[in-house]
Structure 1
């Protein structure tokens, strides 16, 4: 399974929705980077994604985007193969 990293805050309903979808897809480990606790991480997230909003999700090395982007990827049938990783 591909590594999943999510930039998030404590009280973000979109972060919760994104995590719920990932869990339903069998993702057991999500590396959460809490930008509300570490302003330097917020700056880093904005630098690498060009976005200010959370969640910002990475699967493997690929930047997926936010919650809506994740659901769109799933709807297009592209999320499962991405989560399976390159060795699947």
Structure 2
């Protein structure tokens, strides 16, 4: 399975929802980057994604977007293939 990286904060219901979906789809490890604890990481996330909100989710080298984007990808049947394909 491809690595998953997620920019998060401590109190983010959308982050919790996104993590739960990923776990239901078999993701056992998520690299969480807490931007509420590290301002430099927040700046880095905004430079990478052009977005200010969390979560910001990467599967492999692909930026997925936020929780709603992840849910839409799953509903379209595209999340599992993306998690399993090789980079």
TM-score (norm 1): 0.97
Aligned-residue CA RMSD in angstroms? 0.9
Equivalenced residue count is 87
Residue pairs, 1:45-84, within 5 angstroms? 45-84=45-84
Unaligned ranges ≥5, structure 2: none
Q: Could you say what secondary structure the match of 1:32 adopts?
A: strand
The separation in 2 between residues aligned to 1:73 and 1:33, in whole angstroms, is: 22
TM-score (norm 2): 0.98
Residues 20-73 of structure 1, C-alpha deviation per residue, up to 9 Å, x if partnerless? 000000000000000000000000000000000000000000000000000000
Q: Does 1:42 align with 2:42?
A: yes
Aligned to 2:30: 30
* C-alpha displacement of 1:85: 2.6
Q: Does 1:85 align with 2:85?
A: yes
